[in-house]
Structure 1
Amino acid sequence: MRATVITEPGGPDVLSWREVPDPVPSTGEVLVEVAATAVNRADVMQRLGSYPPPPGAPEYPGLECAGRIVALGPGTAETGWRAGDEVCALLSGGGYAERVAVPAGQLLRVPSGLDAVEAAALPEAACTVWSTVFMAGGLRSGETLLVHGGGSGIGTFAIQLAKARGARVLTTAGSPEKLARCAELGADVGINYRAEDFVKRVREETGGAGADVILDIMGGGYLDRNLRSLNVDGRLIIIGLMGGRTAEIDLGRMLVKRQSVQALTLRSRPAAEKAAIVAGVAEHVWPLVEKGAVRPIVDRRMPLPQAAEAHRVMESSAHVGKIVLTR
């Protein structure tokens, strides 16, 4: 088969579309013929050499895909999946390829009404948002969520899912255009982080209380400001380090306000944990997708061999939602 290979750590030009050995599904896995995959920030980090795949994962980038099951590996006969099923999948790697072996517990059916390109934009965002904002953060109807980077694939999905489940949503983005798109998706308040103090705006918009849950992609650079934006019993969930790895915080303020901070990743979790997250998405999120209350936001579609150009778009932050690579 062909796949996008990282020839060495570096810029987008190190991505090369070339012949590689076919994957062979091991026990508990199925083989999926990839119709489309989506670009994630983690793919860029892997290309740069700062985020290697976990042990046993394919070496090629790609944390999600959609396509068709073409073979069942050992131990999958009782899973209910069959050759020919149209699926999308959460991956540990390997989506930028013509085929990928996937643990059966990380498969989801393609939601009714969506094509493979749209479905390919769902698994990573859906599983990330469900596992962080709802499973770990415990966001409830009537609470307030602050989403940083509302124009990203994760951000656009978090806005929609939180609104669909009855939360109030505040979001940050870097341009009026992106904030307008976030408002179209249901965000109640948009904050331009380039022009405004988001701490001040969050407190103003919540009557001085702060957000109940914050989903953060920035890490150290935002840590103190996030905690000052958080309500009593507030939960800060950090899923990215774009703003740095280290910071000083006021533990006294955290104690008084009973705040909690969790730093979470999805890719390196054990297969059993991923399967539990995927099952939760199938039960709680997929019905909302099929009703149209939550939908994949696809900024553009590009051919798989053009992964280098897709990475340039990702790094420019010129997109809203997902960049999808197609066969």
Structure 2
Amino acid sequence: MKFIALKNPGGGDQLELQGVATPQPYDNEVLIRVYAAGINRPDILQRQGVYPPPADASAILGLEVAGDIIACGANVKRWKPGDKVCALVNGGGYAEYAVASADQCLSIPQYFSYVQAAALPETFFTVWHNLFQRVQLKAGESLLIHGGSSGIGTTAIQLARAFGVQVFATAGS
């Protein structure tokens, strides 16, 4: 498969197209044919050499992808080949194919393009985990979001409002 490799830390001029074997999913993973990849702050910082990836992460850049599942590990029950998903991956998103944990995938809404869907995983998983799983935010409660104009902030506003939470936000200029 083809992927975008980082020759040396720096700008976009340090990226080049290379080839490598297509990864295979483990038991709890899916293999995604990538049609779009998100670019967020950690991706840029990794490219610049100031944010090292975790030791177990792929050497290929890219944390968010959208595409079609083409293979599933033996323990995957929710997904099947042909499903359209976006996913948060442990690196490897800037490639034709990426492996994702099955529980880090989201169905792509039918009115979303792959490009739109590739921008969802990092912010939505972060907000959902912190506000609804850890804090257990509920309808009728109030929430103050500092940095409401950021990617995480705007996602938090949208999800909280969708679940009936009264939202207050701050933003700088």
Name the TM-score, length of structure 2 as normaliser.
0.86
Match of 1:162 among 147, 151, 160: 160
Correspondence for 2:44: 44
Which deviations, in whole Å up to 9, do the C-alpha atoms of 1:253-277 show, x marking residues without a partner? Answer: xxxxxxxxxxxxxxxxxxxxxxxxx
After superposition, the C-alpha distances for 1:76-133 in whole angstroms (9 at most, x for unaligned) are 4x51422222122121111111110112222222223323222222121111001112
Structure 1 residue aligned with 2:66: 66
- Report the counterpart of residue 121 of structure 1 in structure 2: 119
Partner in structure 1 of residue 133 of structure 2: 135
Q: Which residue of 2 aligns with 1:24?
A: 24
Aligned counterpart in structure 2 of residue 95 of structure 1, from 93, 96, 115: 93
Instruction: Determine what percentage of the aligned residue pairs are the same residue.
Output: 49
Tell me the CA shift for residue 36 of structure 1. 0.9
Partner of 1:11: 11
Secondary structure of residue in 1 paired with 2:68: strand
State how far apart, in whole Å, the 2-side matches of 1:81 and 1:141 are.
30
Q: Higher Cα Rg: structure 1 or 2? A: 1
Residues 267-321 of structure 1: per-residue CA shift (max 9 Å, x gap)? xxxxxxxxxxxxxxxxxxxxxxxxxxxxxxxxxxxxxxxxxxxxxxxxxxxxxxx
Q: Distance in 1 between matches of 2:48 and 2:42?
A: 10
Name the SS of the counterpart of 1:39 in structure 2. Answer: coil
Amino acid at match of 1:36: A
Which of residues 109, 112, 126 is equivalent to 2:110?
Answer: 112
Distance 1:152 1:61, change over 3 A: farther
What is the rounded CA distance, in whole Å, between the counterparts of 2:141 and 2:29 in structure 1?
Answer: 39
Q: Give 1:31 shift.
A: 1.2
After superposition, the C-alpha distances for 1:104-163 in whole angstroms (9 at most, x for unaligned) are 222222223323222222121111001112222333333332323323322221111111
Residue equivalent to 2:82: 84
More helix by share: 1
Alignment partner, residue 171 of structure 1: 169
Letter in 2 for 1:103: S
- Which range moved further: 59-68 or 22-31? 22-31
CA distance in 2, matches of 1:60, 1:151: 29
How many angstroms apart in 1 are the aligned matches of 2:144 and 2:4? 35
Cα distance, 1:169 vs structure 2: 2.1
Q: How many residues align?
A: 173
Gaps of 5+ in 2: none
Deviation at 1:35, TM superposition (A): 0.9
Cα gap change, 1:149/1:3 in structure 2, threshold over 3 Å: closer, same or farther? Answer: farther
Deviation track 1:44-68 (CA, whole Å, cap 9, x = no partner) reads: 2212223222233211222221101
The code of the aligned residue for 1:93 comes to G
Change (3 A) 1:14 1:164: same
What is the deviation of 1:27? 2.9
SS in 1 for 2:38: strand
SS of the residue corresponding to residue 96 of structure 1 reads coil
Distance in 1 of aligned mates of 2:39 and 2:11: 15
- The RMSD of aligned alpha carbons is 2.1
